[in-house]
Amino acid sequence: MSADTGLELPASPPGAGARRRGGTWRSAFATPSGIAGVLLMAGVLVLAAMAVLGLTPASPRAQDVSQGLLGPSGTHWFGTDQFGRDVFSRVASGLANSMRVAVVSVAVSGVVGITLGVVAGYYQGLADRVVGVVNNVLFAFPSLLLALALAATLERSWVTVSVAIAVVYVPIFARVARGPVLSLRTADYVVAADAIGRSRLSTLVEHVLPNMAGILVVQTTLSLSWAVLTEASLSFLGFGTPPPAASLGGMVYEAQTLAVIAPWMLAFPGAALVLAVVGLNLLGDGLRSALDPRRADR
C-alpha cells in the first residue's frame, strides 16, 4: 500500500510556498502523465455527472429481457446485459458510485487520520502512544479483510461501504501526517513562532499544516485510487454496493459466467474501472513530481 508519498518537506517558511502555488498546479498538469491523468479523470467525471443528472441514454435499472445480451450498437453503445439493461448507462452509474464512495471514504479517513497523526506528532507523549497502538492494530489486518469484515457486519449500502473503507485508511493518513509534523515542529520558523508567544494551536494551524499540505494532497489522490479499487473488490465479493444499484465490481461479478458469449459485459465495466484508477494514479504522480522540491529545478 502506498503510504509513503515520497515527498520531502519544504525548508522555507510559509509564504514562499503560496507564491509558487499557481506554478505548482500548472507544472503538475504540464507533465505528460499529469495531462493524461487530468483527461482521464475529466472523462470519468463527465460520465459520472451524466449518471447523477439522469442524462444517460437509459435508466441504469430499466430491464427489458427481450433486449437481453445485445452487442454494442447505435442504441446500446456498450451493449446490454442478461436483463436487457443498458451497459453504458450502468457503467456511467457505476463510475458515479465509485467516485461517491471514494470521495466520502477518503474525506472521512483523511479528516480523522490526519487529525490523529497531527495530534500524535505535535503533542507527543500519551497521545502518540495511543495513536501508535491503534495504528498497529488497524495495520495488522490485510486491508481488504478488515473492510470486508466491517462491510459484512453493517447494513448493506454505499454509506456503510464508505465507512468500512474509511476505517482501513485512517492509519495510513495518520502515519503519513505524523512524520512531517515530527520534523516540522522543530523547524526554525515553528520554534520562532513559539518563541514570540503564539499559542501552540495557532502555530499548528498557521505554520505546520500549510507546509505539509503538498504531502497530504498527493496522499489523498493516491488514496482515492485505492478506495475505488477496494469498493470494486468488495462489490465483486458481494459485500459492497448492493444490487440493483450499478457498481463496477458487481458488474464484473455478473459478467463472470456470461463473458464468453457477451464479452462487452466484462470489457466495458473493467475498462472503466482500470481507466479511473490509472487516471487517479497519474494525477497523483503528476502532483507528486510538481510538489517535489528535488525536482523543482529540472
The minimum distance between CB 189 and another protein, in angstroms, equals 29
Give yes or no for residue 239 binding another protein (CB under 8 A).
yes
CB under 8 A: which stretch of 47-55, 109-117, 134-142, 169-177 binds another protein?
134-142
The candidate with the shortest Cα–Cα distance to 223, out of 107, 65, 96, is: 107
Give yes or no for residue 238 binding another protein (CB under 8 A).
yes
CA torsion 146-221-127-206 (nearest 10°) is: -160
The minimum distance between CB 208 and another protein, in angstroms, equals 26
| Grid cell at residue 256 | 463472470
SS3 238: coil
Give yes or no for residue 171 binding another protein (CB under 8 A).
no
CB under 8 A: which stretch of 66-74, 107-115, 118-126, 255-263 binds another protein?
255-263
Give yes or no for residue 150 binding another protein (CB under 8 A).
yes
| Grid cell at residue 11 | 525548508
* Residue number, 159 or 278, with CB nearest to another protein: 278
* Residue number, 148 or 190, with CB nearest to another protein: 148
Q: Cis ω on the peptide bond leading into residue 244 (within 30° of 0)?
A: yes
Among 183, 274, 294, 295, the residue binding another protein under the rule CB under 8 A is: 274
Among 256, 294, 295, 296, the residue binding another protein under the rule CB under 8 A is: 256
* Residue number, 168 or 291, with CB nearest to another protein: 168
In order of 94, 145, 164, 176, 180, the CA distances from 213 in angstroms are 31, 30, 25, 11, 10
* Residue number, 80 or 160, with CB nearest to another protein: 160
In order of 122, 199, 209, the CA distances from 191 in angstroms are 12, 12, 15
Give yes or no for residue 182 binding another protein (CB under 8 A).
no
d(CA 36, CA 33): 5
What does the angle CA 19 – CA 289 – CA 225 come to, to the nearest 5 degrees? 110
The minimum distance between CB 236 and another protein, in angstroms, equals 5
The minimum distance between CB 196 and another protein, in angstroms, equals 36
Give yes or no for residue 233 binding another protein (CB under 8 A).
yes
CA torsion 13-15-21-23 (nearest 10°) is: -90
Alpha carbons within 13 angstroms on the beta-carbon side of residue 12 total 8
Give yes or no for residue 155 binding another protein (CB under 8 A).
yes
Sites of contact with another protein (CB under 8 A): 1, 133-134, 136-138, 140-145, 148-150, 152-155, 225, 229, 232-233, 236-239, 249, 252-253, 255-256, 259-260, 263, 266, 270, 273-274, 277-278, 281-282, 285
